[in-house]
Chains A and B, each alone.
Chain A
Amino acid sequence: MSAIPPPIPAVQTFGLTRTYGPMIALNALDLTIHKGDLFGFIGSNGAGKTTTLRILATFLSPSAGRAEVLGHDVVKQADAVRHVIGYMPDFFGVYKDMEVTEYLDFFGACYKIPTAQREKTVADVLELVGLSEKKGALIGALSRGMQQRLGLARVLIHDPQLLLLDEPASGLDPRARIEMMAILQELQRLGKTIIISSHILSELQTLCNRVAIIEKGKLIYSGPVQGVRDQMASGLVYWVTISGDSAKAIELLKARPEVADAAAVNGQVKVTFVNHEIDPGFLPEALVQGGVRFTGLWEDELGLEEVFLRVTRGETQ
């Protein structure tokens, strides 16, 4: 059996700090993001997400600490960093009087992509973001969602290894958001490392393999999505749909030492275990043996939104 190779860090920050006058936007942030991750960056408004992404994109200099992107220091080797990243800010300007292909062609030229290769690259990225049909359209005439896609296409034009996307789905309608997320999953499949900050936590939950939660410039959690759920869940919760009277079922379950609490909620029985390491296999067995008929049994999965609310206190700076 071959051992799994250790993950290679794509981004590392060491005590990264950024102050604006007396305000500390980032407070000694230590973060590691591995290659191939689709990493969600979660935090309230003013938590420091954008500041972190701007520092990683060399848009901003840190006040203290340092950060490395694919082995390059963001301050000392800023040019090298810019070659390997694609950064989409939360607000970015576009040349509204250009056509879509002209815009991408222009940035392709800025990235010194050879003329012969540029045309194909532009067509490819337009295809990837689903803008092929709009290639002749004026940018000013595009909708917000289309402009976001165009921004993503610009980010991809030089085939960067790391994508830094600051609120890429903000202002998009549900369909456009779903399509944007599908594009990001496709990019991850292509081997890109993606860091995405978003407020739409339900989407990050299914999209990202790892997340970081930040509040008031401090890192609260960084790791797999399931990890934070496990940390936050005080006990495993199951829901049981009882056919008939639920009082007997509650009585039965409360008598079990593994069950901390059982209560009827909205016509169902909510069963809370004493901890989340207990095997729930005993539950159907106990109910059947007690003569209780049940029609449904499922685990209450703690959503990322719930986790976020529990770990943060809503403090902004």
Chain B
Amino acid sequence: MLGAAVLTVVLGVFLANQSATQSGSNAFLAMSVVVFCGIWIVVPILTADCLSREKREGTLGLLFLTPLKPFEIILGKGTIHAIRALTLIVAVVPVVTIPFVLGGITRSNVVASLILDSAALLFALAAGLLASSLCRQWTRAIILAELFSFTFFYVFVWLGVRSLGWTGTRGNAIGTLIQILESAYYSARYPGFGTAPGPATVNLVSPLITILAGAMVAFVLVLVFASYRLRKTWQENPPSARQRWLQQTFCTPRFWVGLLRRQNATRLSRNPIGWLQQYSWSARLGKWGWCFAVITIVSWFLATDTRILNGGLLVLKTAMLISMAFSAVGSFQPELRNNVRVKLYRSAAFTPLQVGMFLCARNATGLSAMKRRKRRAPFQIPRSTSEFRFNAKSKMARWNSCWSHRFRKRRSSSAALGESGGNSFPVIRFSC
């Protein structure tokens, strides 16, 4: 309702000073494009976690114990998410009445809009389901779903272009897509359904049917593949020999092993939560993968055309920020999934770590993937209790004194608990 209200206001501003017929066409075009883009972006995100969540929470195996078949499970998930996705279209129905009242919209526009949205919906659902069947982690499923969505979008465009048999007056696929959408949605410029701009008048029925049929085929293929994949992977087998080889070959250090081990030990002493965050081989692979990708892309920019360097770097920075955001969002997922909130609290209560440090350390880990910090962060945990010695000359000392003050408070309270025998947990004592 809120979205519809906002959309109505935006339309009001957008359509000011236009004739009624033109306003109707423009409004219909705007809304259709918003819904069309919304489907491609939002539906994969909504669908991406439907199977991966079952895998994570250990409920998928219970479903497989029932007479349900993998295909039935996937189809059930797909159907319910399709219905949920349809709310996107339903949400704009009240607003759609405005262009109809203003006029300038033909029945053909509505039919074309529905066909294109349905095709987009099927592709987007397929992207989400496919990613969900392949992943276990929520963040990975969403990222993969968006990548699949992007790929399927190109399939969508390719189908339209191929069925039309021309590349469009704008000379590229995206230009062709825009023309297809315009001719479908925008009756003011291209009156009458069935014609499209181009070197020759082309009937739009053919591409619309081709796109819809392609979407249906893709959806069914993805359902079949996803159910096959689910049947193969639901048993949670340990890593195969090939996976172990890959991990051993590409994710295990071969050179400077001693140096890396020492560095690892230092990192663990300084920032245990950050160390934990980067413990898995996939996290390390992600970090070095980003590093490799950045170097490669920047080198490519420099080697080809320096004019696109600034724009390219902006895109790259945006991508990295989005990646960091996803990483930050997903960073507490394992703890939440395993109900470690209680453990976090316990850790905070019975170790020197405090809740603020958990958050800071995780952020530091994310940042360290982009820029290696040489100096110690103020929130880092001292390597040993001897490091609490006050050093008034350095900036770090202020922080250390701050932490040592907190630790002293904790020590006194811990000691009190220990002496009174009121605490069954091991009490950590500090000798600073």
Whole-angstrom distance between the alpha carbons of A222 and B281 in the complex? Answer: 42
Interface residue A59 (Cβ < 8 Å from any Cβ of B): yes
- Binary interface encoding of chain A residues 87-102 relative to chain B, with 1 for a CB under 8 A from any of its CBs, else 0: 1010111110000000
Q: Which residues of chain B from 40 to 78 have a CB within 8 Å of any chain A CB?
A: 54, 57-59, 61-68
Interface residue B241 (Cβ < 8 Å from any Cβ of A): yes
Interface residue A49 (Cβ < 8 Å from any Cβ of B): no
- Binary interface encoding of chain A residues 79-91 relative to chain B, with 1 for a CB under 8 A from any of its CBs, else 0: 1001101010101
Whole-angstrom distance between the alpha carbons of A112 and B68 in the complex? Answer: 9
Q: Would you give the shortest CB distance from B54 to chain A, in whole angstroms?
A: 8
Is the CB–CB distance between A82 and B67 below 8 Å? Answer: yes
Is the CB–CB distance between A21 and B241 below 8 Å? Answer: yes
Closest residue on chain B to residue A155 by CB atoms = B65
Q: Which of B54, B64, B244 has its CB near the most chain A CB atoms (within 10 A)? A: B64
A: which residues have CB within 8 A of B? Answer: 20-21, 57-61, 79, 82-83, 85, 87, 89, 91-95, 107, 110-112, 154, 158
Contacting residues, chain B, for A20 (C-beta < 8 A): 238
* Pick from B59, B67, B237: contact of A112, CB under 8 Å: B67
Contacting residues, chain B, for A57 (C-beta < 8 A): 65
Interface residue B351 (Cβ < 8 Å from any Cβ of A): no
Listed A/B pairs (14) with beta-carbon separation below 8 Å:
A21-B241, A59-B235, A59-B236, A60-B237, A79-B67, A82-B67, A83-B67, A89-B58, A89-B61, A93-B54, A93-B59, A110-B63, A111-B67, A112-B67
B: which residues have CB within 8 A of A? Answer: 54, 57-59, 61-68, 235-238, 241, 244
> What secondary structure prevails in chain A residues at the interface with B?
loop
Is the CB–CB distance between A110 and B59 below 8 Å? Answer: no
* Pick from B58, B67, B241: contact of A110, CB under 8 Å: B67
Is the CB–CB distance between A154 and B62 below 8 Å? Answer: yes
Given contacts A93-B57, A112-B67, 18 further A-B contacts (CB under 8 A): A21-B238, A57-B65, A59-B235, A79-B67, A82-B66, A82-B67, A85-B65, A89-B58, A92-B58, A92-B62, A93-B54, A93-B59, A93-B62, A95-B59, A107-B62, A107-B66, A111-B66, A158-B66
Is the CB–CB distance between B235 and A60 below 8 Å? Answer: yes
Is the CB–CB distance between B59 and A21 below 8 Å? Answer: no
Given A21-B244, A91-B58, A92-B58, CB of A82 within 8 Å of CB of B238: no
Is the CB–CB distance between B58 and A93 below 8 Å? Answer: yes
Contacting residues, chain B, for A154 (C-beta < 8 A): 62
Q: Would you give the shortest CB distance from B406 to chain A, in whole angstroms?
A: 34
Q: Would you give the shortest CB distance from A156 to chain B, in whole angstroms?
A: 13
Closest residue on chain A to residue B238 by CB atoms = A20
Q: Would you give the shortest CB distance from A96 to chain B, in whole angstroms?
A: 8
Whole-angstrom distance between the alpha carbons of A246 and B235 in the complex? Answer: 63
Whole-angstrom distance between the alpha carbons of A158 and B64 in the complex? Answer: 14
Whole-angstrom distance between the alpha carbons of A59 and B63 in the complex? Answer: 11
Contacting residues, chain A, for B66 (C-beta < 8 A): 82, 107, 110-111, 158
Contacting residues, chain B, for A111 (C-beta < 8 A): 66-67
Closest residue on chain B to residue A25 by CB atoms = B238
Whole-angstrom distance between the alpha carbons of A101 and B162 in the complex? Answer: 53
Q: Would you give the shortest CB distance from B79 to chain A, in whole angstroms?
A: 15
Contacting residues, chain B, for A79 (C-beta < 8 A): 67
Q: Which of B62, B236, B237 has its CB near the most chain A CB atoms (within 10 A)? A: B62
Q: Would you give the shortest CB distance from B343 to chain A, in whole angstroms?
A: 15
Closest residue on chain B to residue A95 by CB atoms = B59
Q: Would you give the shortest CB distance from B315 to chain A, in whole angstroms?
A: 39
Contacting residues, chain A, for B54 (C-beta < 8 A): 93
Contacting residues, chain B, for A89 (C-beta < 8 A): 58, 61
Closest residue on chain A to residue B68 by CB atoms = A110
Is the CB–CB distance between A82 and B235 below 8 Å? Answer: no
Closest residue on chain B to residue A108 by CB atoms = B66
The 4 closest A-B pairs by CB, nearest first: A93-B58, A110-B66, A93-B57, A93-B59
